[in-house]
Structure 1
Amino acid sequence: MTDALDKDLNDILEAAAAWHTRLDLGTADQKAFERWRDADPRHASAFARMVGTDATFGLAEGHIDSEADDFEGPVRVVDRRRWLAGALVGVAAVIVGGGSFVALANRRVHAETTVGGRANVALPDGGHIDLNTDSRIAWRYDNASREIWLERGEVSLNLPAGDRPWRLHAQGRVIMGLAGKLNARLKGQAVEVTVIEGPGIVILAEHIGGTGKLALAAGQSVLAGKDGGTVRALSDETMQTVTAWQSDEMVFTGQPLSMVVDEFNRYLSRKIVIKDPSIAGVRLGGRFNVHNASGFLRGLNESFGIRATDDGQVINLTR
């Protein structure tokens, strides 16, 4: 009898592990999972154990929290396992009341990076979001839609096709599509959107009465503000300048030093300041590592005689 019970428990644990893996990879049938989970209280308990075990290994590196829509507390994410740490709360509730796992999908989950940081987040549908330096993203998935909010910084989204549309909300605009890969970056009161791969997207005003409807295909970009924007096709060279950050690089093709410094400062806690206005227009080209500011400053001195002086608060550039 004991052997039979042990075998039954082992079978349940194996099934829980399989569901855990499928959900983590975004390949699970949500309704099928719910049927299995609700069929026996031991199923929910075993699944909670699996999530708890996986989450434990990620807790030392940081955390990600599931939050109600009206809560905006700071959360930082380093890797995908933190989603599991947040999911543990929802799964534990399943043991008590059943059906609470779906409620997890109806809450916003936040992830953010610090200055100089990067993160990759796996979404429930198998999609991925890469967060650039000093960025913050939120998402909420339910049975009707996939909603994502860009709250700060820059992200690359790789979103699979599905039976629900996805919508990215940013600076009063809604970017909508079925699948594809795009880059989105907040710039002042506008959002710069670039379609890298896929069938294309549509950008609308967030609120009724807003102006400007834009359609983008792969290889096109737009800086969308409250009055719309102009869609432009990007050359392969220009596309590299948009996506280089995903390899921890910046690519410049003759931009002025003032713009290059602005880009570097996105990754630096101690900022670079151009103290001599006469050097702001110096044109630069090349590929730079975002984590090698010292090499960049050394190159300025060797090529243009521009000196960098650290006063303890900022790095001043003069000639």
Structure 2
Amino acid sequence: MTKHLEIEQQAAAWLARKDRDGWSAAEQAQLDQWINSATAHRVAYLRLAATWSKADLLAPGAAGPGALPARHDHAIADGARRPLPRYSAWRIAAAILVTVGTATGLFATRASVSEVRYETTLGAHQTFALKDGSKLTLNTATLLRARVSQTGRTVWLDKGEAYFDIAHDAAHPFVVISGANRITVLGTKFAIRREAGATNVVVVDGRVRVENGQIPNQLPVILVKHQKVVATSVKMLKSDESDAGIEQVLSWRQGKLIFSQVTLDYAASEFNRYNKKRLVLADAEAAKLRIGGSFDVDNVSGFASLLQRGFGLDVLETDDTITIASRRPRPAP
């Protein structure tokens, strides 16, 4: 799918959601945020809104859902007349007449109107509530899509890391797709981190089943409280986690990085997940240095200063990078 078509489908999904009963102020705020986050979003929404309005004009008395909201006005008018139902035969026929060549893409979107996209920027984390009562907390630079209805609950973790607090529903298991991995739960708390070539799952409470679609004949791995699995294309590595280990894995929810005698190379890679200013290690000796402690995720300059003062490393800071190097003996004058 092209980026353009993806944005078109997102805009159509927003229009379809707004078209139903029960549109809330919280949903309006999410729509405002999506529209104002990119010019392409605003253009797609305006164009499709105009298409729906033209379709509605073919039905006497119908009013379209697509009026563009003001950037700061989230109020919803009580008792406002609702447009035709989104699956109205008249609306579908009218849309065919108006959209002509774009009908195929539009109907593909309307077939999956319940899919909602959630995304965080570099260095941010944010909590979202799903309509089934579940809560998702997204870590830095994370993209997640959710489709939750009365018949099923599925989430796709396209990139990044998320913490899940899932509402119990024995009739509708909650499924998370991360690459080739499928994580299934009924009601529990767990975190998933998707990296290049691996998916990490750690359970805080409850029970989780992890299936790896990349390994032939691989049996599902069952995780319970304080257990973890790392799923790659060749293996499923399961382990137990201590209270301290769980705290370290989830410290990002408090805006912290907690290290327990990790290499500086690893610590730098973690800081680089959250900051535009990158930590660069100039030599192998500096990279293998062991470090521990608790640090604010956005205080990369303070971390570098600690390395300089506490470990005697050389630090060179520019607008974009902080280069860390082992201190070399200075030649005698």
Q: Shared fold by TM > 0.5?
A: yes
* Secondary structure, aligned partner of 1:95: coil
Counterparts in 2 of 1:105 and 1:128: CA distance versus 1, 3 Å = farther
Deviations 1:159-181, CA, capped at 9 Å, x for gaps:
01013111100120100010101
Deviation at 1:293, TM superposition (A): 1.3
Q: Tell me the residue number matched to 2:275.
A: 268
Cα 1:144/1:64, change in 2 over 3 Å: farther
Match of 1:95 among 79, 83, 108: 83
Given candidates 155, 172, 182, the residue that maps to 1:148 is: 155
Q: Establish whether residue 305 from structure 1 lines up as the match of residue 312 from structure 2.
A: yes
The answer for the alignment partner of 2:230 in structure 1 is: 223
**Residue from 196, 204, 210 that aligns with 1:203:** 210
- Cα contact 2:279–2:323 (8 A) shared by 1: yes
Deviations 1:141-166 (A, max 9, x none): 23322000111111001101013111
**Match of 1:117, SS?**
coil
User: Given that residues 122 and 129 in structure 1 are in contact (C-alpha distance below 8 angstroms), is that contact kept between their aligned partners in structure 2?
Assistant: yes
**CA distance 1:123–1:54, change in 2 (3 Å):** closer
Specify the SS of the correspondent of 1:297: helix
Instruction: Answer yes or no: is the 8 Å Cα contact 1:212–1:227 preserved in 2.
Output: no
Q: Structure 1 residues 225 and 210, CA, compared in 2 at 3 Å: closer, same or farther?
A: farther
Secondary structure, aligned partner of 2:274: coil
Per the alignment, in what secondary structure is the counterpart of residue 129 of structure 1? strand
Q: Say if 2:182 and 2:212, in contact at 8 Å, map to a contact too.
A: yes
Amino acid at match of 1:97: P
Call closer, same or farther: CA 1:59–1:204 in 2, change over 3 Å: closer
**Shift of residue 186 of structure 1?**
1.0
- 285, 295, 299: which one aligns with 1:292: 299
Q: How far off its partner does 1:208 sit?
A: 9.7
Mapped partners of 1:262, 1:125: distance in 2 = 36
Residues 145-154 or 208-217, more deviating: 208-217
Aligned to 2:246: 239
2:67 match: none
Q: Does 1:192 align with 2:200?
A: yes
Asked whether the equivalents of residues 175 and 203 of structure 1 are also in contact (C-alpha less than 8 Å), the reply is: yes
The alpha carbon displacement at 1:118 in A equals 1.1
Partner of residue 118, structure 2: 111
1:165 to 170, 173, 183: 173
Preserved contact between residue 64 and residue 111 of structure 1 (Cα < 8 Å): no
CA distance in 2, matches of 1:221, 1:314: 34
Identity %: 26
Say if 1:98 and 1:262 are closer, same or farther in 2 by CA, change over 3 A. closer
Query: Does structure 1 retain, via aligned residues, the 8 Å contact 2:214–2:233?
Result: no
Which of 31, 34, 37 pairs up with 1:63?
34
Corresponding residue SS for 2:303:
helix
Q: Which residue number corresponds to residue 11 of structure 1? A: none
Gaps of 5+ in 2: 1-19, 37-43, 45-72, 89-109, 328-333
Alpha-carbon separation, structure 1, partners of 2:249 and 2:111:
34
> Rg: which structure is higher?
2
Question: Cα deviation per residue 1:229-248 (whole Å; 9 max; x = unaligned)?
Answer: 12111011111111101110
Are 1:179 and 2:187 an aligned pair? yes
Unaligned runs of 5+ in 1: 1-42, 66-72, 74-84
Distance 2:224 2:121 in 1: 32
**SS, match of residue 265 in structure 2:** helix
